[in-house]
Chains A and B, each alone.
Chain A
Amino acid sequence: MDDKWRNLRLGLGALGLILVVVGAWMGLFWAPADREMGDVYRIIYTHVPAMWMTLIGGFINFVACVAYLIRASWKADSLAEASAEVGLMFGVYGLVLGMLWGKPTWGVYWDWDPRLTSMAVLLVAYMGYMTLRRFIEDPEKRAVWSAVVGIIAFMDIPIVWFSVRWWRSLHQEQSTPQTVHPDMTLALRVNAFALLFVFLAFLWSRYRIAMANRKEELALPEALGEPTAAAG
């Protein structure tokens, strides 16, 4: 049974890797150049899917945090930890890619516009979440406190998403398949699914690591609340 799950996990990663290669070719060479941004726009095929995975990670973290607070479960806590870390990884490099796209198009690497600012706040929030988890040694306290932080951090995600519509933002509004060339839409979808499979493979692996950590921690007598020799 363990082998079956391992093979499934590896298969997910392999499928993601294949699609990443195909998506890279489509984004770099196959999709046509943009009418205004020329070839620089090709960064979209790495930047946008990465940001989508960040938001998905944040959503999964939110659900797991709420689930833990409703009914304490190490599975929910481990899923929350895994989703935050994986989402943060995609978010950090996605933000860097956005900066690289900003320089040739806006003339600056960074601007304090609503989309960029709210995304930076989101990443700092999840960095805080991971830091909090690292510094609390008691597993139950860690799970509860980080669940509260995770729920608060999630409040920023709708702001990130709608910022380009609510405020006059330097960052462009979301495009739709009706407004872009169909080849561009296809290339973006392939890259998005590639990253989704990679995300799921990462999430699964990181979840297993978190669960293993919980088992190691809970095997210690102090974590079970049993009196130690000094306290006796």
Chain B
Amino acid sequence: MNGLMLLAQVADAAERVGSGRIQGGWEFVWASYAIAYLSMALYALSLWWRRPGRAGRSEEKPS
């Protein structure tokens, strides 16, 4: 009986400790990829907006 109780305690502890591998976390992955590609897209847009030869560009302060 003591052995069974001991085994039950060990099993319970093992379940709480886990496998040693992070589970899930996909929300962080999706957020990272979204931030990366959105940043590049917005920067590309800013470059296009500031492109040489754009009408009205010479009236703006150089950046």
Contact = CB atoms under 8 A, between A and B. Distances in A.
Interface of A: 13, 20, 24, 27-28, 34-40, 42-43, 46-47, 50, 86, 89, 92-93, 96-97, 100-101, 103-105, 134, 198, 202, 205-206, 208-209, 211-213, 216-217
Given A43-B32, A216-B58, A216-B62, A104 B51 contact: no
Interface size range on B against A: 20 to 34
Given A37-B21, A38-B21, A202 B47 contact: yes
B35 interface: yes
Interface of A is mostly: helix
B24 A38 contact: yes
Contacts of B32: 43, 46-47, 97, 100-101
B56 to A, nearest CB: 13
Contact of B25 (A38, A89, A97, A202): A38
B22 A103 contact: no
Interface in B16-56: 20-26, 28-29, 31-33, 35-37, 39-40, 43-44, 47, 50-53
